[in-house]
Amino acid sequence: MTVLPPEHRAPYLGPAGAWTRGTAVASVALAALSAVGVTAAWVGASGRTHMDDVVPFLVLGVVAFAVGGLAGAVWLGGGLRSIRAERVALRRRLLAMDLGRVEVVATADVRVIGPGMTKVHRPDCEYARGKEVAEVPADAEVPECRVCAA
């Protein structure tokens, strides 16, 4: 088993993680309350022979399961809320950056490729537009992009 060094471990709780401590505490508290309710319903209903005696414990068990579902919803909602906030912050940072895009005029015989690209593109292809690219010789053995039909 590989253990990551401390600087590579992502914190899951706290301001940099997906869940705040309040969300985690609320979720764990609701889950614990659910477990206590289900246990109380089970213990209370065991040994009862008449349906009239079991109904209150059945209702308690159903409510306890609903509280358990609420615990999961709180947990997922907290994670989704922080992911949404990170996405908005990233979008704002990207919009604030000056990318210095250069318009490239496409010609029929020019093909380009850039760092990390595995296919050749036309200079006006959406995958190559606005990126640092270099011209590829016509005889190069590189697969062609299907989007721009290079």
Domain range annotation of the chain: 11-96, 100-150
Residues of the chain scoring pLDDT < 50:
9, 13-14, 150
Give pLDDT, residue 61: 96
Give pLDDT, residue 7: 53
Give all strands (DSSP E) within the chain, no chain letters.
Answer: 112-113, 134-135
pTM reported for the whole predicted model: 0.53
Give pLDDT, residue 146: 81
Give pLDDT, residue 42: 96
The Cα-based distances of 110 to 29, 114, 123, 133, 147 in angstroms read: 63, 14, 7, 12, 16
CA proximity to 34, closest of 58, 70, 59: 70
Cα 120 from Cα 109, distance rounded (Å)? 12
pLDDT tens digits for range 6-22: 555 455 544 556 778 88
Give pLDDT, residue 141: 78
Give pLDDT, residue 33: 97
Cα 9 from Cα 38, distance rounded (Å)? 36
User: Other CB atoms closer than 10 Å to residue 113's CB: what's the count?
Assistant: 19
Cα 37 from Cα 67, distance rounded (Å)? 9
Give pLDDT, residue 31: 97
Give pLDDT, residue 99: 60
Cα 31 from Cα 72, distance rounded (Å)? 8
